[in-house]
Amino acid sequence: MTKTKKRKKLGYNSGKNIVKFVSRSSKEHGYKGLGVLFYIFKRLFNYFFHLIAQFMPYNGMRVFFHKIRGVNISSDVQIGANVWIDEAFPDYVSIKGNASLSIGCKIIAHSVPHPFHEGRLPSYVAPVIINEGALIGMYSIVLPGVTIGKGSIISAGSVVTSDVYPFTIVRGNPAELISKVRMRPDDEN
């Protein structure tokens, strides 16, 4: 069992100087001194394997490449093509057994707005947890700090901004509760 990550405040990125960006970003990831060189290699490695994972034709390989990137993911997870799992903080994403991420989903664990918005919008990283048996519909977006409950369903194209209770169905932008998951075909909602 891995230790649960906590929400962490991040700095704002001006994007004007690559040296400052790498220095700030490596500190946020816990690298200092010569460790910055390792961090640069790790980021390139992570980016490369993320691209490969998105377009692999076989699910087992997609799961494998996300695992080596640092995503805490169970082997029996189903991941569709072109699923984007946070590139900068993959270790903040946890996907439990029998979960399913449909084509084109985006799982985002951090938010770093432009410095113009400093003081207006927070810059942070927060864990995203997708529990057992959850289904994320096509082209849905799950934002930082969200926990998707066991057996819940996110309808296609939804934007999930807050936690989803177990065995519920949500849809929309922002995603809102629409019903409970039927446990048997003859159950009423």
136 or 187, greater pLDDT? 136
The confidence band for 177, taking pLDDT boundaries of 50, 70 and 90, is very high
Each residue's pLDDT tens digit, 121-169: 888 899 999 999 999 999 999 999 999 999 999 999 999 999 999 999 9
pTM: 0.84
Cβ within 8 Å of residue 87, ≥6 positions away:
46, 47, 50
| pLDDT tens digit sequence for 82-108 | 999 998 889 999 999 999 999 999 999
Cα distance between residue 84 and residue 35, in whole Å: 27
Q: Do 11 and 28 meet the contact criterion of CB atoms below 8 Å apart?
A: yes
Distance (Å, whole) CA 136 – CA 115: 32
Break the chain into its structural domains and give their ranges.
14-180
Q: What is the mean pLDDT of the chain?
A: 87
Number of other residues whose CB lies within 10 A of the CB of residue 125: 25
In this structure, which amino acid lies at residue 33? G
Question: What's the gap between Cα 8 and its chain centre?
Answer: 15
> How crowded is residue 149: how many other Cβ atoms within 10 Å of its Cβ?
19
CATH code of the domain occupying 14-180: 2.160.10.10
Q: Which of 125, 57, 131 is nearest to 101 (CA)?
A: 131
